[in-house]
Amino acid sequence: MSCIFCRIAHGEIPARVVFQDDRVVAFHDVSPQAPVHVLVIPRVHVESLAASTSEQDALLGHILVTVRHVARALGVAENGYRTVINTGFDGGQSVGHLHAHLLAGRPLGWPPG
Ligand code: 5GP
Ligand code: ZN
């Protein structure tokens, strides 16, 4: 299996997991861009948001619900956070397995680069 996030989902590569269930895994980003930087991925391999299908609509919703849950669990919900899904080349996606970033713990600038 060549996809690095599939390997994390299968426990073949270690990650600092903060939450998981039968559909998603949430773990700390290896190169954090904020004091809290967590990635939420589906267990199933989905290349990107653009490549997802209507059969995966509930899964997409569950990814956002997981972000909300993890933000509360890590104590950043009150101050706020940013949820980012980089998609494709122009979107800056570097890992070809759908993931939502949860960034928090400091005021975040806007617009992004
Ligand atoms: P993208 O640029 O595709 O939106 O985000 C990919 C993210 O995955 C980056 O923030 C990068 O630091 C993170 N990442 C890449 N490889 C690994 C890894 O092996 N473990 C973890 N925990 N994060 C990774
Ligand atoms: Zn994958």
Q: Residues 87-104: what's their mean pLDDT?
A: 98
Q: Is the pLDDT of residue 81 over 80?
A: yes
pLDDT in tens, 11-51: 999 999 999 999 999 999 999 999 999 999 999 999 999 99
Strands (E) located in the chain? 17-20, 24-28, 36-42, 81-84, 100-104
Q: What is the CA radius of gyration of the chain?
A: 13
Select from 34, 37, 36, 10 the least CA-distant residue to 99.
Answer: 37
The CA distance from 105 to 9, in Å, is 26
How confident is the model at residue 113, as a pLDDT?
84
Provide residues with CB under 6 Å of ligand 1: 4, 13, 15, 27, 29-31, 39, 86, 92-95
Q: Which of 2, 19, 20, 30, when mutated, tests ligand 1's pocket best, judged by the most ligand atoms within 8 Å of its CB? A: 30
Q: Which residue has the tokens 């960034």?
A: 103
pLDDT band at residue 1 using 50, 70 and 90 as cut-offs:
confident
